[in-house]
Homo-oligomer: A and B are copies of this chain.
Amino acid sequence: MASRTGRYTLTLDSSPSIIGFASVVGKKEGEGPLAKFFDNVFPDDTLGEKTWEKAESSLVKSSLTLALQKAAVSSSDLDFIFGGDLLNQCIGSAYAVRDFSVPYIGLYGACSTMAEGLCLASLFVDTGSAKKAAAVTSSHFCSSERQFRYPLEYGGVRTPTSQWTVTGSGAAVVSASGDGPKVRQISFGKITDLGICDINNMGAAMAPAAAVTIKQFIDDTRSKPEDFDMILTGDLGHVGSKLLIELLKRDGIDISKNHADCGCLIFDGEAQDTHAGGSGCGCSASVLCSYILQNMAQKSLKNILFLATGALMSPTSFQQGESIPGIAHLLHITA
């Protein structure tokens, strides 16, 4: 039964367990520093499909199937799947989940989707609304480039602040009982928009939302940054991470010692030419559901905050001169 802590945070009194998690990625991610932690690296980013969108759906199917296997749970044991992605009308998830025959709650939180889905899955389990629920999301470099920027064939030059969309998917299964990492608290964020209009600088657009959500959690729970082994953001990248640390310092919150970002962890920026780092729903999902949760399962990480940020613009809103609204949802997870 969830209880409110402060104004914005929900404490999940039953501490639901993440009993299974998996991540699958593309070739480039498999050449990065986290290579050995992924469950599957696809050597061909098409995954044998005819289109990038179908390849992205295959990533989702693959991570969800593996997470269920690792949790020793069949899809008929799941009460709900929470999913979504970056593609128009979230087709990456919908076409993948179609075959699982499980009630589906479709989300749109842009790159915050893994945190949004995992918050909801955990809350559903904690309140007894589900016994088991899964959260899944994905992104694909090629489907994202086509949709948000230019067709690959155009060969557009990337700005220094631009990020590289991760080809990957992560899935997690949450259960009322089990041995996995426990979700202790969740905090859903507000839309935050400081007027950033540069579509090649997502980190800057999303950092203010991350700052707002971290501050609301710290205030609600009267905790300190040093209470946590790691404060992990989803895909702020190198530019957004610096800004986040700066913004929180102004509020007297210093996360510089234990902040990490999935977008900075997943690629070797210099060797892999990924500019400001990784991004996309699949970035936070694949890093959380590999390196991070594996370390928590082995107790080398014991107490973390995980928050994923989303930039809620579209190519249309950008062309119409709108600024980029950001959002961030947060989970407090312990080993």
Contacts and interface: CB of A to CB of B under 8 A. Distances in A.
Contacts of A3: 128
B91 A188 contact: no
Nearest to A97: B191
B103 A89 contact: no
A104 B191 contact: yes
A330 to B, nearest CB: 11
Given A51-B320, A189-B103, A108 B129 contact: no
Contact of A312 (B105, B106, B312, B317): B106
A325 B95 CA distance: 7
Nearest to A84: B108
Contacts of A1: 1, 127-128
A176 to B, nearest CB: 12
Interface residues of A, number: 54
Contact of A108 (B106, B128, B310): B106
A51 B316 CA distance: 10
A221 B162 CA distance: 52
Tally of this chain's copies: 2
Contacts of A327: 104, 106
Interface string A79-90: 010001011111
B127 A312 contact: no
A197 interface: no
Nearest to A53: B316
A247 to B, nearest CB: 17
A8 interface: yes
A8 B104 CA distance: 11
Given A90-B312, A102-B190, 5 more contacts: A2-B127, A53-B316, A87-B316, A89-B317, A103-B189
Interface of A: 1-4, 8, 10, 50-51, 53-54, 80, 84, 86-91, 94-95, 97-98, 101-110, 116, 120, 123, 127-129, 188-191, 193, 310, 312-317, 320, 322, 325, 327
26 contacts: A1-B1, A1-B128, A2-B127, A4-B129, A51-B320, A53-B320, A87-B314, A88-B314, A89-B108, A89-B317, A90-B108, A91-B314, A91-B316, A91-B322, A97-B191, A101-B190, A103-B190, A104-B190, A104-B327, A106-B109, A106-B110, A106-B116, A106-B310, A108-B108, A127-B127, A127-B128
